[in-house]
Every structure is written in C-alpha cells, then in structure tokens.
Amino acid sequence: MLGIIGKKVGMTSIYTKDGLSLPVTVIKAGPCEVVQVKTKDTDGYKAIQLGFEVNTKKVTKPLLGHFKKANLKPYRKLREFRLRQQEPEFKQGDTVSVDIFKEREKVNCTGISKGKGFTGAIRRYGFHGGPKTHGQSNKYRAPGSIGTSATPSRVVKGKKMAGHVGSVKRTVKKLEIIKIDTENSLILVKGSVPGYNGSYVIINKL
C-alpha cells in the first residue's frame, strides 16, 4: 500500500464544527523522494523505496553507493512501500507528499513505542498483587507462584513475569485523518500514535 514517512510532532486537540474536542496527533509527513522503483519484471513485485530527511552525517559505503547509483542525496530514513495495480506509477527522483491522502481517510500508523525499561508484573500486565491484610507483609507487588509441581518442575515458557516494556514496533490501525496542511506537510490524525515526539512514523493507506 502506498504511504509516506513522517516524524511525530506531538499531540493536541482541535474542535469540530459541532463543538466537540478531538485529541489528535500532529505528524510532519514528507516530502519524500523516490530512491528506487521495483517492478514485477526486475524484482518480482511492484514497489517504491522512499527517502526522508537528508543525512548530513556519516553514511556507510554500501548506502552511499546506493544513493550514488540513483544520483540522489543520502537520506536518513529509507522505507519500501508495496504498490497495488491501481496505484499510480512513479519514477526515480519523484516526490511523494501529503497530497496522496485525503481528509476523513483512514490510515495505519506504525512506530516504535516508548521504552519503559524493566518493570514489574503489576505495571507490565496489570496483576493485582498479594493480599493487604491477614498478616501479609512483604508480597504486595509480587506476581505470585511462577512454578509448577514435580512435573514438569520448571517455569513454563511465556509465563507473565517482570521484564522489559516498550521500545517495540507497533501499528495502530484505521486512524482517521482529521486535517491536512499541505503547505507545512502536516497531517493530523485522530487519537494517539506509537513513539515519542520526534520519532519516525510510517503512514500507510488502507
């Protein structure tokens, strides 16, 4: 599905004509340049590779060769988007902007969620913890028994325990585009989007 690369600006709220307050996420989307075009004849499928944000820092030699072959500037973020048959054709060097979207359209937004570090089972999974009365004094936030009996005599795989939370790839589906600012390349989508302010977001058409 055709899409675009963007950066999360932050959250705010806007009012509708009916006076309702809607929570929205502001995303700086594109403009992105087409770095590579893949076709069924050469690659077996139809897709385009987009580049976002010119990379002024050190670039690896393989990537530098990739950009030199396309005769383009190095980009910080690269992402490939599959294309359907009915979607338009693109050439190397073309620009993809927020014009590909329409207001009230539904999109999928993918990002890396905020890292929460190492947390206990209560925060991680919503456990209730131990009893607060009847002589209980040191198991308020414990997960309870984690083992089994003599068989199999071990902690089973997938047991919900304390561990690392966040900093994983997440996709929120069917978010509604409330407003598009083509002049500043901004998209306002209803609801929240994974990631911290300034993190990269991939916006895909449905």
Predicted local confidence at residue 132, as pLDDT? 86
Return mean pLDDT, the chain. Answer: 91
Binning pLDDT at 50, 70 and 90, where does residue 149 land?
A: confident
Burial of 142 (0-12, 13-18, 19+ CB in 10 A): middle
Contact 86, 46 (CB under 8 A): no
* Whether pLDDT at 180 is above 90: yes
β-sheet bridge partners, residue 64? none
Q: Which domains does the chain have, with CATH numbers?
A: 3-118+173-205 (3.30.160.810), 119-165 (no CATH)
pLDDT digits (tens, 9 = 90+) for 102-121: 999 999 999 999 999 999 99
pTM: 0.84
Predicted local confidence at residue 85, as pLDDT? 80
Average pLDDT of the segment spanning 151-160? 90
β-sheet bridge partners, residue 15? 21
Contact 19, 187 (CB under 8 A): no
| CA 95 – CA 177 distance, rounded (Å) | 21
